[in-house]
Amino acid sequence: MTPRQIIGKIGLWFSVFVIVSPAILFFLWMASLSLKFEIDNAAYPPVFIPEHVAWKNYADVLASNRFLTYFINSLVVTGSATLLALLVGVPAGYGIARMAAHKSAIVILIARITPGLSYLIPLFLMFQWLGLLGTLVPQIIIHLVVTVPIVIWIMIGYFETTPLELEEAALIDGATRWQVFRHVALPIAKPGIAVAFILAVIFSWNNFVFGIVLAGRETRTLPVAVYNMISFDQLSWGPLAAAALIVTFPVLLLTVFAQRQIVAGLTAGAVKGG
Amino acid sequence: MRPPSYWPFVVPALVVVLAIIIFPWVFTIWMSLNEWKVGSSTTFVGFSNYLRLTKDPRFIEAIGHTLVYTALSVLLPLVLGTFAAVVFHQKFPGRGFLRGVFIMPMMATPVAIALVWTMMFHPQLGVLNYLLSLVGIPAQLWVFHPATVIPSLVLVETWQWTPLVMLIVLGGLAAIPSEPYESAQIDGASIWQVFRFITLPLIMPFLFIAGMIRMIDAVKSFDIIFAITQGGPGSASETINIYLYSVAFSYYDLGYGSAIAVVFFLLIVLLAAVMLYARQRMLWTEIASGT
């Protein structure tokens, strides 16, 4: 190695360190907060690695019976909104791609630009008139605002890249359009569906603004529940950080294990957006 | 062989989109023309909600906050994200894993990370002031002072969304052919020259897309601001979106809130149009000057 190459190597690793450390340090600090007793969390200078580990913070959060309710709420809302979005969005993406109806994508663009709160005002009234407030139905429906555009957008892009020859051959053999979709197009599209599924799950799980307006005491999802913990105990950082970490942990896990799909989905949407 | 027989595939989604995207928009526009408060009768008032907006100091102030917040939240991630993309474009061991770690902030639940940032911003016990003290910088009030609240929130937003810019630019870098780099190396160009005159022009379209997406998201930013400051202290970090929330769901003034929603949407479209126009102008000058 020449001196120039060595300097280059050092520069590269230094850059990598600078770029990645804010993310690493943040999540380590989050974990540290969640594993400390209040004495350590209120200490100055801050304690980074505590002498006594407060597993109790996690036990307390998980043991409260409300937490289980909120966790189930989150599962039901995200699960339903994602499955419904796949049910209508995958065929729609197929249809739009095959008809080359690119103009219809403008609706999805409008959905992307519109602030979430704008949907809440009219839909809030509708839910009130229909007497649905107090159930999980309003949240499931409004989460479709997030999940349906994601699924359609990704599936249009994916079906545009899958080969037409097989589908045409099947049509000539007398298959109906539905059979072609079901037995030829759909199996090939599995990786695309996986990408759409993962992104829809993450953005629905993370959603906060819809729940803060529509959820009552019994119908909170996890992000809303964690937010509401602040006002109750302002200074108990340990349990608060533990709850925050529990809420976001499934997403972080997905990010690490499905990184390839997430990157493909996010950049496909972005690059096609131009 | 392409009769309208693909329509049945699209119809269910069309119904859903009509119900949850188109209908709310039409209804919002109608509501914005009415005096519409929860619990009292509604009356048609024409454009008076819009006139009220022009005289509402809190709304005008919120526009200013939104523009400052957005400008910073576009520029900082663009610069840092480009740098990060150039680094992640190199080959080094552990790159895949580290890239996964790097994109965690953008996928993590915003409310959860906002909570931890709130603790880190704490003036007495927060870890940020401790870190500053290590390098001899006096303690800051961060989100607890009107002058520093927006920059502090931008810090969070930048930390969160730089990865998205990185991913988009990284996609652009992957598409660049290697020939220009080889000839630059033969000519003995410096790293900065290579970046400035080869890489940057070639990734411009990607930077533009990243900037556009960043703008749309930053203007609408809600979770982070709401969870950390709720627009405070006072109204120092109250953006249009936060004000919209207060009007519609704290005061339940739905007619006025709808007017804000409509103007807000038009503002986003306007900003996007300005960016598109600026991009076109840049392309024309580039063509005209022959670079």
Condensed to tens digits (0 to 9), the pLDDT of residues A48-66 reads: 888 888 899 999 888 887 8
State percent of chain A over pLDDT 70: 96
Strand partners of residue A19? none
The alpha-carbon gap from B125 to the nearest alpha carbon of chain A, in Å, equals 6
Averaged pLDDT, B268-274? 93
Condensed to tens digits (0 to 9), the pLDDT of residues B184-226 reads: 888 888 888 888 888 999 899 899 999 999 999 999 999 999 9
Q: What's the rounded Cα separation, in Å, for the pair B128 and B118?
A: 10
Query: For testing the chain A interface, which of B1, B2, B15, B17 should be mutated: the one with the most A CBs within 10 Å?
Result: B17
pLDDT of residue B1: 47
Contact B109 A29 (CB under 8 A): no
Question: Which residues on A lie below 8 Å from B205 (Cβ)?
Answer: 274
Query: For testing the chain A interface, which of B29, B101, B162 should be mutated: the one with the most A CBs within 10 Å?
Result: B101
Contact A122 B105 (CB under 8 A): no
Instruction: Search chain B and give the residue with CA nearest A228.
Output: B227
The alpha-carbon gap from A134 to the nearest alpha carbon of chain B, in Å, equals 16
Q: What's the rounded Cα separation, in Å, for the pair B12 and B8?
A: 8
Question: Which residues on A lie below 8 Å from B208 (Cβ)?
Answer: 274
Q: Quick one: residue B164, left, alpha or beta (phi over 0 = left, psi -120 to 50 = alpha)?
A: alpha
Contact A208 B223 (CB under 8 A): yes
The alpha-carbon gap from B75 to the nearest alpha carbon of chain A, in Å, equals 17
Is the pLDDT higher at B1 or at A188?
A188
Question: Which residues on B lie below 8 Å from A116 (Cβ)?
Answer: 220, 222
CB B104 within 8 A of CB B192: no
pLDDT of residue A271: 47
pLDDT of residue A274: 30
Mean pLDDT of chain A, nearest integer: 89
Amino acid at B62: A
B226: contact with A, CB 8 A cutoff: yes
pLDDT of residue B194: 87
Contact B6 A95 (CB under 8 A): yes
Q: Write down the H helix ranges in chain B.
A: 7-17, 23-32, 48-54, 57-89, 95-107, 110-121, 127-134, 149-174, 179-186, 191-194, 200-220, 223-228, 240-245, 254-289
Contact A92 B115 (CB under 8 A): no
Contact A113 B268 (CB under 8 A): yes
User: pLDDT-based confidence at B38, cuts 50/70/90?
Assistant: confident
Condensed to tens digits (0 to 9), the pLDDT of residues B83-127 reads: 999 999 999 999 999 999 999 999 999 999 999 999 999 988 889
Mean pLDDT of chain B, nearest integer: 91
Nearest residue to B258 via CA among A41, A119, A182, A57 = A119
Question: Which residues on A lie below 8 Å from B159 (Cβ)?
Answer: 22-23, 26
pLDDT of residue A161: 87
B44 three-state secondary structure: strand
Question: Which residues on B lie below 8 Å from A23 (Cβ)?
Answer: 101-102, 104-105, 159
Instruction: Search chain A and give the residue with CA nearest B82.
Output: A19
**DSSP character string of B54-103:** HT-HHHHHHHHHHHHHHHHHHHHHHHHHHHHHHHHHS--TTHHHHHHHHH
ipTM of the complex: 0.91
Question: Which residues on A lie below 8 Å from B20 (Cβ)?
Answer: 119, 123, 141-142, 144-145, 148
pLDDT of residue A269: 61
Contact B111 A227 (CB under 8 A): yes
Nearest residue to A256 via CA among B263, B104, B238 = B104
Instruction: Search chain B and give the residue with CA nearest A126.
Output: B24
Crossing angle for the helix pair A105-113 and B254-289, to the nearest 10 degrees: 110
Instruction: Search chain A and give the residue with CA nearest B245.
Output: A117
Q: What's the rounded Cα separation, in Å, for the pair B239 and B221?
A: 9
Tokens of A155: 């599936």
Contact A117 B244 (CB under 8 A): yes
Please check the confidence at residue B2 and state whether its pLDDT lies above 60: no
Q: What's the rounded Cα separation, in Å, for the pair A119 and B129?
A: 39
The alpha-carbon gap from B147 to the nearest alpha carbon of chain A, in Å, equals 24
Question: Which residues on A lie below 8 Å from B206 (Cβ)?
Answer: 271
Please check the confidence at residue A109 and state whether its pLDDT lies above 60: yes
Condensed to tens digits (0 to 9), the pLDDT of residues A97-107 reads: 998 887 877 88
pLDDT of residue A2: 84
Sequence-distant (6+) residues with CB within 8 A of B34 are B42, B43, B44, B45, B49, B255
pLDDT of residue A233: 52
Contact B84 A19 (CB under 8 A): yes
Please check the confidence at residue A248 and state whether its pLDDT lies above 90: yes
B276: contact with A, CB 8 A cutoff: no
Condensed to tens digits (0 to 9), the pLDDT of residues A217-233 reads: 899 999 999 998 876 55
pLDDT of residue A64: 81
The alpha-carbon gap from B18 to the nearest alpha carbon of chain A, in Å, equals 10
Q: Is B287 exposed, middle or buried (0-12, 13-18, 19+ CB in 10 A)?
A: exposed
Contact A115 B212 (CB under 8 A): no
Contact B83 A15 (CB under 8 A): yes
pLDDT of residue B9: 92
B256: contact with A, CB 8 A cutoff: no
Question: Which residues on A lie below 8 Å from B92 (Cβ)?
Answer: 12-13, 16
Q: What's the rounded Cα separation, in Å, for the pair B262 and A213?
A: 19
Question: Which residues on A lie below 8 Å from B113 (Cβ)?
Answer: 26, 30, 244, 248
Question: Which residues on B lie below 8 Å from A267 (Cβ)?
Answer: 167-168, 170-171
